[in-house]
Amino acid sequence: MATIEMSSTTKINTGEEYINSLKGRDLKIYLFGEKVEDPTEHPMIRPSINAVAKTYDLAVMAPELASVISPFTGERVSRFLHVCTNVSDLVLQNKMQRKLGQLTGTCFQRCVGMDAFNSLYSVTFEMDEKNGTNYHKRMKAFLTKMHQGNLVVGGAMTDVKGDRSLAPHQQEDQDMFVHITKRTDEGVYISGAKAHQTGCINSHWMVVMPTMRLKEADKNFAIIGAVSVDSKGITYIYGRQSCDTRSMEGGVIDVGNATYGGQEAMVIFDNVFIPNEYIFMDGEFDFAALLVERFTTYHRRSYVCKSGVGDVLIGAAASIADMNGIPKASHIKDKLVEMTHLNETIYGTGIASSYQGYPTKSGAYICDEMLANVCKHHVTKMPYEIGRLAQDLAGGLVATLPSEQDLNHPEIGALLQKYLRGKADVNTEDRMRILRLIENMTLGRNAVGYLTESMHGAGSPQAQRIQIGRSMQLEYKKRLAKIIAGIEIETDKDIVIEELSGYFARVFKI
């Protein structure tokens, strides 16, 4: 358990220190059927590590934006480890996320852990209040440890799920959902697998959580616990991304974004031990739904990250139009305006959700659920349209561009220099780089983060529609209509006083 030792002795402050902290760990990682000995040196993995490192570097560059003074240690720690205690905290999370999206052009992988801490803080408080358990205190002790080391914590929620129509206990193979296999006086053992785990190999710890509402028969699936990523019994199987092997070709142009990338892996737990001090739920199935709802409320507005990534894609689209000599064409300008409008709509709803934040019983602030779901629902659609428009502006070369090796070839290189030129004063290689970036973000490695993660991360589109449907207060809206239409005889004073609840109460709070 090397990570545990490190957390209590060393505090990571910079990106470089963070990268060094990942060296020498004994993780069982498989990629292309082979065990990866040092992920920090693997050309396919390293860009994802650089993206996380940027979260540390931003905290050095802009401490007010990306770090906080820890209430537990009194020292500066990453904002990704902070539990929000006011609206400003929530808003600053979003501003940090947009900035990191702008700086990396990809998923920087730390928000699931941040949103897990924030939701767990209030859920453990309320569990203890109801059941007299001790989870909140344990959770705070764990968080203190994370602050001492300024560590990276991933959030492991999504189970592989098997037959989607069946509850966990109904699955033919119980390992389709992570569950407790054995309880001892010292702790519990868990087995199962979590899918699509963002940044898991780049984390120091993971918080394992249930993925859905549970019933009494699912009691053994109601487990929340923190595990060090190098715990015995964990296997990581690295997820492939489109065009991923380009980073192994040795060049820098064809990858599109040579420095930064995302990371997802399948995490398999084979009787992994969690000691009591790191268990924050054990059998309280009736709190699983609350946890999932709170987590997704935070996490769905965390998708403002995509507006930062969108800024990069809009910049790339505008650049290729410049390079092609058509920046002043009216339809080009209009398409850039449309892309910006869509991008700001994502940001607007996400940050509005944070501005509508309110306190939970624990003192932790949570953002507005309706607007968080609207934000994430926009994210399931708008990046696809922004990507479509970027490809429109890029022209067909985005999909047919010859390779970097051909550009550098002694004989045909000159031909490409000549025939791939746009405006006469634009360097051909620069034009190729921008085209490759657009390819990277709409078809390649970072399309995983910009498009597919936008679709499914924090729940597929239907999950948001269900939540929006639950909170839309149709009865209240029908009364409004009926008063104005003269059907109801109650006064608008009645409706303001009596019916101002739920989402609308938060909208109109003063």
Ligand X SMILES: Cc1cc2nc3c(=O)[nH]c(=O)nc-3n(C[C@H](O)[C@H](O)[C@H](O)COP(=O)(O)OP(=O)(O)OC[C@H]3O[C@@H](n4cnc5c(N)ncnc54)[C@H](O)[C@@H]3O)c2cc1C
Catalogue the active-site residues: 107, 111, 198, 264, 299, 303, 305, 453
| Options 3-11, 33-41, 281-289, 453-461: segment touching ligand X (CB under 6 A) | 453-461
Nearer CB in complex with ligand SF4: 112/206: 112
Does 153 participate in binding ligand X (rule CB under 6 A)? no
213, exposed or middle or buried, with CB in 10 Å at 0-12, 13-18, 19+? Answer: middle
H or E stretch including 431?
Answer: helix 428-442
Q: Over the range 126-148, which residues count as b (16 or more CB within 10 Å of their CB) and which as e?
A: bbbeeeebebbebbbebbebbbb
Does 196 participate in binding ligand X (rule CB under 6 A)? yes
Binding mask 243-272 for ligand X (x = CB under 6 A): ---------------------x--------
Distance of CA 50 to the CA centre of its chain: 16
Does 303 participate in binding ligand SF4 (rule CB under 6 A)? yes
Does 448 participate in binding ligand X (rule CB under 6 A)? yes
Strands, E, within 276-396: which ranges? 279-282, 358-359, 365-366
Q: Tell me the C-alpha distance between 382 and 454, whole Å.
A: 9
Q: For tokens 């650089």, name the residue.
A: 50
Q: Which residues pair with 288 in a beta bridge?
A: none
Phi-psi region of 196 (alpha: psi -120 to 50; beta: other; left: phi over 0): left
Name the nearest CA neighbour of 351 among 326, 329, 368, 327: 368
β-bridge pairing 28-31 and 234-238: parallel
Q: Tell me the C-alpha distance between 197 and 190, whole Å.
A: 17
Nearer CB in complex with ligand X: 113/422: 113
The answer to whether 145 and 77 have CB atoms below 8 angstroms apart is no
State which amino acid sits at residue 422.
G
- Residue 108 contact partner, candidates ligand X, ligand SF4, none, CB within 5 to 8 A by sort of partner: ligand SF4
347: three-class secondary structure by DSSP: helix
468, exposed or middle or buried, with CB in 10 Å at 0-12, 13-18, 19+? Answer: middle
Does 198 participate in binding ligand SF4 (rule CB under 6 A)? yes
Does 320 participate in binding ligand X (rule CB under 6 A)? no
Nearer CB in complex with ligand SF4: 457/459: 457
- Residue 464 contact partner, candidates ligand SF4, ligand X, none, CB within 5 to 8 A by sort of partner: none
Q: Considering the complex, what minimum distance in angstroms separates the CB of residue 468 from ligand X? A: 14
Q: Considering the complex, what minimum distance in angstroms separates the CB of residue 381 from ligand SF4? A: 16
Does 55 participate in binding ligand SF4 (rule CB under 6 A)? no
- Residue 156 contact partner, candidates ligand SF4, ligand X, none, CB within 5 to 8 A by sort of partner: ligand X
- Residue 264 contact partner, candidates ligand X, ligand SF4, none, CB within 5 to 8 A by sort of partner: ligand X
Does 107 participate in binding ligand SF4 (rule CB under 6 A)? yes
Question: How crowded is residue 63: how many other Cβ atoms within 10 Å of its Cβ?
Answer: 13
Token pair for 326: 């058509």
Q: Considering the complex, what minimum distance in angstroms separates the CB of residue 460 from ligand X? A: 4
The answer to whether 253 and 451 have CB atoms below 8 angstroms apart is no
Does 441 participate in binding ligand X (rule CB under 6 A)? no
User: How many amino acids of this chain bind ligand SF4 (CB under 6 A)?
Assistant: 12
- Total residue length of the chain: 510
Does 302 participate in binding ligand SF4 (rule CB under 6 A)? yes
Token pair for 430: 């620069």
Binding mask 262-301 for ligand SF4 (x = CB under 6 A): ----------------------------------------
Nearer CB in complex with ligand SF4: 350/422: 350
Token pair for 179: 């569950």
- Residue among 80, 380, 459, 506 that touches ligand X (CB under 6 A): 459
Binding mask 315-334 for ligand SF4 (x = CB under 6 A): --------------------
Residue ranges in contact with ligand X by CB under 6 A: 112, 155-158, 161, 164-165, 194, 196-198, 264, 448, 452-453, 456-460, 462
Residue ranges in contact with ligand SF4 by CB under 6 A: 107-109, 111-112, 198, 302-303, 305, 449, 453, 457
